[in-house]
Amino acid sequence: MNMSMGMRQEAVVIGGGFGGLASAMRLQGMGFNVTLLEMRDKVGGRANRWRAKGYTFDMGPSLITAPSIIEGAFRAVGSSLSAFVDLIPLDPFYRIHFHDGTWIDYSGDPERMKAQMAAFSRRDASRYDAFMDAIRPIYEAVLETGLGATPFHDWRVMARFLPTVMRLGAWRTATSFVNGYFRDFRHRFMFSFHPLYIGGNPFACPAVYLMIPYLERRQGVWYTRGGMYSVVEAMERAFRDAGGTVLTDHPATRIRVEAGRAVGVEARGRFFPAQAVVSNADLAHTYADLIEPRHRRKWTDGRIKRLEHTMGCFLLFLGVRKTFPFLKHHTLILSERYRELLTDIFSRKILPADFSLYLHAPAKTDGSMAPPGCESLMVLAPVANLDSGLDWEGAKNAFADRLLDFLEAWGLEGLRAHLEAFRIYTPLDFRADFNAVRGNAFGLVPTLSQTGWFRPHNRSEDIANLYFAGAGTHPGAGVPGVLLSAEAVEACVREDFPRIRESHPQRSAAAVP
Ligand X SMILES: Cc1cc2nc3c(=O)[nH]c(=O)nc-3n(C[C@H](O)[C@H](O)[C@H](O)COP(=O)(O)OP(=O)(O)OC[C@H]3O[C@@H](n4cnc5c(N)ncnc54)[C@H](O)[C@@H]3O)c2cc1C
- Of 134, 142, 471, 491, the one binding ligand X (CB under 6 A) is 471
Alpha-carbon span 150 to 132, nearest angstrom: 25
- The least distance separating ligand X from the CB of residue 317, rounded to whole angstroms, comes to 11
Binding to ligand X in span 171-230, by CB under 6 A = 197
Which uninterrupted H or E stretch holds 13? strand 10-14
Alpha-carbon span 421 to 433, nearest angstrom: 21
- Of 478, 488, 490, 504, the one binding ligand X (CB under 6 A) is 478
- The least distance separating ligand X from the CB of residue 166, rounded to whole angstroms, comes to 28
Binding to ligand X in span 311-330, by CB under 6 A = 313, 315
Which C-beta is closer to ligand X: that of 128 or that of 224? Answer: 224
- The least distance separating ligand X from the CB of residue 362, rounded to whole angstroms, comes to 11
- The least distance separating ligand X from the CB of residue 211, rounded to whole angstroms, comes to 13
- The least distance separating ligand X from the CB of residue 47, rounded to whole angstroms, comes to 5
- The least distance separating ligand X from the CB of residue 298, rounded to whole angstroms, comes to 21
DSSP 378-431: EEEEEE--GGG---HHHHHHHHHHHHHHHHHHHT-TTTGGGEEEEEEE-HHHHH
Contacts of 90 (CB under 8 A, 6+ apart): 220, 221, 222, 223, 329, 330, 365
- The least distance separating ligand X from the CB of residue 364, rounded to whole angstroms, comes to 15
Alpha-carbon span 205 to 193, nearest angstrom: 11
Which uninterrupted H or E stretch holds 255? strand 252-258
Beta strands at 10-14 and 33-37: parallel, antiparallel or unpaired: parallel
Site string for ligand X, 332-371 (x = CB under 6 A): ----------------------------------------
Alpha-carbon span 131 to 49, nearest angstrom: 37
Instruction: Tell me if 407 contacts ligand X by CB under 6 A.
Output: no
Which C-beta is closer to ligand X: that of 125 or that of 407? Answer: 407
Which C-beta is closer to ligand X: that of 334 or that of 486? Answer: 486
Q: Where does this chain touch ligand X (CB under 6 A) — which range of 31-39, 90-98, 156-164, 331-339? A: 31-39
Residue nearest to ligand X (CB): 17
Which C-beta is closer to ligand X: that of 29 or that of 127? Answer: 29
Alpha-carbon span 370 to 227, nearest angstrom: 12
- The least distance separating ligand X from the CB of residue 482, rounded to whole angstroms, comes to 4
Alpha-carbon span 12 to 245, nearest angstrom: 10
Which C-beta is closer to ligand X: that of 124 or that of 216? Answer: 216
Binding to ligand X in span 260-319, by CB under 6 A = 280-281, 285, 313, 315
Alpha-carbon span 264 to 247, nearest angstrom: 15
Which C-beta is closer to ligand X: that of 29 or that of 60? Answer: 60
Which regions of 30-120 does DSSP assign to beta strands (E)? 33-37, 49-52, 55-58, 87-89, 94-97, 103-106
Alpha-carbon span 291 to 289, nearest angstrom: 6
Alpha-carbon span 146 to 487, nearest angstrom: 10
- Of 180, 251, 371, 513, the one binding ligand X (CB under 6 A) is 251
- The least distance separating ligand X from the CB of residue 87, rounded to whole angstroms, comes to 14
Instruction: Tell me if 38 contacts ligand X by CB under 6 A.
Output: yes
Q: 3-state DSSP call for residue 194?
A: helix
Distances (CA, A) of 140 to 143, 164, 207, 372: 5, 11, 14, 43
Instruction: Tell me if 380 contacts ligand X by CB under 6 A.
Output: yes
Cis upstream peptide for 513 (omega within 30°): no
Q: At what angle do helices 122-139 and 110-118 cross, to 10 degrees?
A: 140
Binding to ligand X in span 425-454, by CB under 6 A = 434-435, 441-443
Instruction: Tell me if 19 contacts ligand X by CB under 6 A.
Output: yes
Identify whether the C-beta of residue 77 lies closer than 8 Å to the C-beta of residue 242. yes
- Of 219, 470, 474, 504, the one binding ligand X (CB under 6 A) is 470
Instruction: Tell me if 246 contacts ligand X by CB under 6 A.
Output: no
Residues near ligand X (CB under 6 A), total = 39
Which C-beta is closer to ligand X: that of 134 or that of 199? Answer: 199
Instruction: Tell me if 477 contacts ligand X by CB under 6 A.
Output: yes
Instruction: Tell me if 63 contacts ligand X by CB under 6 A.
Output: yes
Residues that bind ligand X (CB under 6 A): 14-20, 37-40, 45-47, 60-63, 197, 251-252, 280-281, 285, 313, 315, 380, 434-435, 441-443, 470-471, 477-480, 482
